[in-house]
Structure 1
Amino acid sequence: MRAIQITSLDGPEAVELVEIESPARAEDQVLIDVKAAGVAFPELLQSRGLYQLKPPLPFVPGAEIAGVVVEAPVDSGFAPGDRVAALPMLGGFAEQVVADVDLTFPLPDDVTFAEGASFIFNYGTAYFGLVNRGALAPGERVLVHGASGGIGTASIQVAKAFGAGRVIAVTSTDEKGEIAIAAGADEYVLSEGFKDAVKALGGVDIVVDPVGNAPEGDRFTDSLRCLNDDGRILIIGFTAGAIPKIAANRLLLNNLSAVGVGWGAYAMKRPGLIKQQWEAMAEHLASGALRPVVGQTFSLERASEALLTLDRAQATGKLVLEV
């Protein structure tokens, strides 16, 4: 089968399209024909050896896919021909992959494979952050940074589906702001000067921050200044490149909380958690309230280009490889 391999840790340009054997299925696994694979920061980091999961070289990246079941255990609830989304964790950038039964989920017929390959990681992270860690209450106001990206658009939709009263998006351009509006945001403000704009709108109760600080600014402190009493800032990542430092007095002043949202490793250590989250979101996926915003799609042989697009911060929505 065709697959993308990381054979050296020299970055996205060094990934290779190769021919390898199809994976063997263990008793508790599902063999899947991959139709689409999500492209995310873990794969970008893996191409440079910077991710916490460091498989021996060479290896096939790709943690999130959607496709069609080829083989499944008899009592798994899956049968050949079923449409599924799954988390193989590795191996997804290929024509076939295996995934554990409890990390394989039925994909509604009206959800495309590209959308299915864009759902579990981003929406699982958003749900874990807003509902589990952030304790989103009905009617609360939510501010979302990086709102045109995969995590951002997922956070907008999860916030609305689970009771937020108003969702304000922060984007770098008007074009990206319109993407956030299409995803369900009530309004957007531009990142330059966002603090004053958000405070003029009455502030917020929760800030979703997958961005961190750019080297030349302090977006994080400005986010804290946007929070009303008892507000929470959800720390999801640092795509802008700089890790913020927290001035503790900022938390003290208005009884604020800075909350870490480390979903992936946490969920993998707790069997059944991802399934619980899928079930909590499934009705909203089926209704269309949660529907991934797919950005650019690439053929399998263009995986390097997809990773470079992510690396250059040129992505909107979720990037997907179509197999």
Structure 2
Amino acid sequence: MLAIRFDRFGGPEVLTPVDVPAPVPGPGETVITVEAAGVNLADTFQTDGSYLDASQLPHIPGGEVVGRTEDGRRVLAKVTHGYAEQVLCTESALIPIPDDITAPQALALLTQGLTAWHLLRSAARLQPGESVVVHSAAGGVGSLAVQLAKEFGAGLVLAQASNPDKERLALDLGADGTARYPLPQRADIILDAAGGTLFQQALESLADFGRLVTYGNASRIPHPPLDPARLSRLNASVVGFWLRPTLARPEALSGPLKQLLDLTRQGRLRPVTGTEYALADARQAHIDLRERRTTGKIVLRPPEGRGSRSMPRGSNLVAHTAGDA
């Protein structure tokens, strides 16, 4: 079957289409034939070695898929090797989804949706009437955070984005205005995944008892040391957030995800979708994501039909033995 693998750390250029054996389920496992695989910024950090060490090479990235089990169930699942035509998942981790939720919508809700939900509820602890600034507001997390902030009762939601088209998208999703520093009014909550200059500007723009929630470093600029005395002078706080340990808490996944799915089916939450690539073009998807050319959820589509045995014509595939997987 077709999969995307990297054998060394680096940029998008290390992602290579390969022909690997179809997975064989063990006890308690299920094979999912992939309808679509989600692409996340964390995948780019896996690829460059930020999240993995050399002992884990070669590696097939990808943490989420929508697909069908061998008995026909349509499911959403967190996985470990999602950039493939078929993946393994434990039966207990499968999340049934209805046919009226598209694969990109469902994938947007699993990682980005849960991140946005917990940023506002668990990390920032948003209270009704508070003001919220969302950085990267046209991205997968940001576009959902803008909408959820309004849904959860924020009094003012401002969107920061890298260009006017992305600002317009955020406004269309319900943002009350755009955010440019210095802010005209200090904010109660600022959600930042960019780091770098934006983080520093945001820190100086917090209201009394404001919370700056940092959950990524898309700028790839190292943060300078943060002086606790500076936080005391600002009368504010910086909160770090990472989804993976959050989901280990009881009820951190099922309850919030059910709410996200319900809001989507009711039309009150609109996951931004449409950025799709063929599975074999994962390299280009990573390039576009890193260069901030994308909006909303990015997905990879395997070749149509049962792909566990068929390979697309013209693909530059590198065969390897089962032991290389």
Q: TM-score range by the shorter chain?
A: 0.7 to 0.9
Aligned partner of 1:76 in structure 2 is none
Secondary structure at 1:273 match in 2: coil
Partner of residue 228, structure 2: 248
Shift of 1:239: 0.5
How much does 1:143 deviate? 0.2
**Equivalent in the alignment of 2:142:** 152
SS in 1 for 2:157: strand
Contact 2:113–2:144 (Cα < 8 Å) also in 1: yes
Which residue does 2:22 correspond to in 1? 22
User: Is the aligned partner of 1:179 residue 2:169?
Assistant: yes
1:207 partner amino acid: I
Partner of 1:274: 253
Trace 1:196-215 onto structure 2 (pairs within 5 A).
Answer: 196=182, 198-199=183-184, 202-213=185-196
Question: Taking structure 1 as reference, are residues 55 and 144 closer, same or farther at Cα in structure 2, changes over 3 Å only?
Answer: farther
Map residues 84-233 of structure 1 onto 2, 5 A cutoff.
84-88=75-79, 90-189=80-179, 194-196=180-182, 198-199=183-184, 202-213=185-196, 218-233=197-212
Amino acid at match of 2:85: E
* 1:39–1:321 CA contact under 8 A, matched in 2: yes
> Cα RMSD between the aligned structures?
2.1
8 Å CA contact 1:93–1:300 kept in 2: the answer is yes
**Which amino acid is the alignment partner of residue 262 of structure 1?**
W
Q: How far off is 1:11 after superposition?
A: 2.7
CA gap 1:101/1:133 in 2 versus in 1, 3 angstroms: farther
For 1:313 and 1:223, locate their aligned partners in 2 and report how far apart those are by CA, in whole Å.
20
What is the TM-score with the length of structure 2 in the denominator? 0.85
Amino acid at match of 1:81: G
Q: How many residues align?
A: 301
Q: 1:64·1:118 contact (CA, 8 Å) conserved in 2?
A: no
Select which of 282, 286, 289 maps to 1:310.
289
Partner secondary structure for residue 108 of structure 2: coil
Could you tell me which runs of 5 or more consecutive residues in structure 1 were left unpaired when the two chains were aligned. Answer: 71-79
Is residue 285 from structure 1 mapped to residue 276 from structure 2 by the alignment?
no
**Cα distance, 1:94 vs. partner?**
0.9
TM-score, structure 1 as length reference: 0.86
Identify unmatched segments of 5+ residues in structure 2.
303-325
DSSP-derived class of the 2:194 partner: coil
Identity of paired residues, percent? 33
Q: Which amino acid letter does the alignment assign opposite residue 240 of structure 2?
A: G
- Assess, with a 3 A threshold, how the Cα gap between structure 1 residues 314 and 243 changes in structure 2: closer, same or farther: same
> Shift in Å at residue 95 of structure 1?
1.0
Shift of 1:247: 4.1
| Partner in structure 1 of residue 5 of structure 2 | 5
Higher relative contact order (CA 8 A, sep 6+): 2
CA contact (8 A) 2:124 2:189 kept: yes
Residue range with higher mean Cα deviation, 115-124 or 55-64: 55-64
